[in-house]
Amino acid sequence: MVKVAVVTGSNKGIGFGIVKGLLKRFDGVVYLTSRDDGRGKAAVAKLNELGLKPEYHQLDVTDRDSVIRFRDHIKEKYGGIDILVNNAAVANSTSFYNNYEECKTIIEINYLSILTIQELIFPLVRENGRILNISSDCGHLSNIRNIYWVKRLSKKDLKVEDINDFANWFLEGIKEENFNYDDIADEGTVAAYRVAKVALSAITMLQQKELESKNISVNSMHPGLVQTDMTHGIGFYDIDQAAETPIYLVLDAPDSLKGAYVWYDRKVLDWYDYKADYFFKTSTLKTSTQKSE
């Protein structure tokens, strides 16, 4: 049986770095996927120049039909997946504050798409497989200052409806232009991205519970501030450095690491510690810019 690894949104950035790293170490097939065919095939050509040979398939995580086509392709060709890295994401704007349409797109790509992937792709993940959701420091609970939502997202019997309500609460507030930005850390900067990534980190723990019977590990992680198009080249790490911890988590981490929120240095953090100093700070961008100059 051929082992299969899949990385979503991997034609550039961290996803591309993860594919490259897996191709060097993983004993099996590695899929590079992208929303845009041209960009995906160009990324494959770059790896081919390095002597690396990924498989490619178009995959738009926000398009149900695209996800179904990808699912059917994998099912027919390989029968299942051993490693799934949910990396597809967008920040969508150079501004720290987004309009409603931008916020909606950010929530759809960074959070709601994972529900489609969970429904259609997760059943292909084989026993003892590993799933990694690429979150962010924006995805730690300390990014949320609204105590009602902190408590609701922290409850032991958390359900997907709670997380969906959280995302909808934010979008409704933006749409009605009455959202209180004090409910988000750092004066409410990049609020949509924070809400989406907090939702992604939260659902990771529900996914772990659902897949426990197959001994599949599901974790989320903050890859650090990485020099990518999404960060407009600002960051402390290049994509190869940023790929090291994700690759560790899907290949080398102990089987006991499940449902965890992991920092870029492999440290497992208490996601529920909403008073911690783990939230994203826009001042970090200035520090990074100064360091790279």
Query: In terms of DSSP bridges, do strands 217-221 and 261-262 run parallel, antiparallel, or are they unpaired?
Result: parallel
In the chain, how many domains are there? 1
Q: What is the pLDDT of residue 226?
A: 54
Q: What is the pLDDT of residue 224?
A: 81
Distance CA 100, CA 103 (A): 5
Asked if residue 157 is part of any domain, the answer here is no
Percent share of the chain, pLDDT over 70: 91
Exposed e or buried b for every residue in 101-112, given b needs 16+ CB within 10 A?
ebbbbbbbbbbb
Name every residue whose Cβ is closer than 8 Å to that of residue 256 and which is 6 or more positions away in sequence.
Answer: none
Query: Quick one: DSSP state of residue 36?
Result: S
> Which domain range does residue 236 map to?
4-91+112-137+198-287
Q: What is the pLDDT of residue 288?
A: 38
Q: What is the pTM of this model?
A: 0.93
Distance CA 267, CA 57 (A): 33
Asked if residue 229 is part of any domain, the answer here is yes
Q: What is the pLDDT of residue 161?
A: 98
Distance CA 172, CA 221 (A): 28
Candidates 122, 209, 111; CA nearest to 163 is 111
Distance CA 104, CA 212 (A): 32
Asked if residue 82 is part of any domain, the answer here is yes
Asked if residue 187 is part of any domain, the answer here is no
Catalytic residues: 193
**3-state DSSP assignment of residue 192:** helix
Asked if residue 172 is part of any domain, the answer here is no
Q: What CATH number is given to the structural domain containing 76?
A: 3.40.50.720
Name every residue whose Cβ is closer than 8 Å to that of residue 270 and which is 6 or more positions away in sequence.
Answer: 261, 276
Asked if residue 177 is part of any domain, the answer here is no
Distance CA 276, CA 213 (A): 32
Asked if residue 61 is part of any domain, the answer here is yes
Candidates 236, 224, 237; CA nearest to 263 is 224
Structure token digits, residue 179: 């959202």
Q: What is the largest CA-CA distance in the chain?
A: 55
Query: Which residue stretches of the chain are H helix?
Result: 13-25, 37-49, 64-77, 100-107, 113-120, 147-154, 160-175, 191-211, 239-242, 244-251, 283-292
Structure token digits, residue 105: 């797109």
pLDDT digits (tens, 9 = 90+) for 82-123: 999 999 988 655 678 899 999 999 999 999 999 999 999 999
45: left (phi over 0), alpha (psi -120 to 50) or beta: alpha
Q: What is the pLDDT of residue 232?
A: 45
Average of per-residue pLDDT across 159-180 = 98
Asked if residue 30 is part of any domain, the answer here is yes
pLDDT digits (tens, 9 = 90+) for 227-265: 544 444 455 677 888 899 999 999 999 999 999 999 999
Distance CA 7, CA 21 (A): 11
Per the prediction, the chain carries an average pLDDT of 92
Out of 137-146, 159-168, 283-292, pick the least confident. 283-292
pLDDT digits (tens, 9 = 90+) for 3-27: 999 999 999 989 999 999 999 999 9
Average of per-residue pLDDT across 47-58 = 98
Give the HSE-up count for residue 135: Cα atoms under 13 Å, Cβ half-sphere.
36
Binned at pLDDT 50, 70 and 90, residue 171 comes out as: very high
Angle between helices 100-107 and 191-211 (to 10 degrees): 20
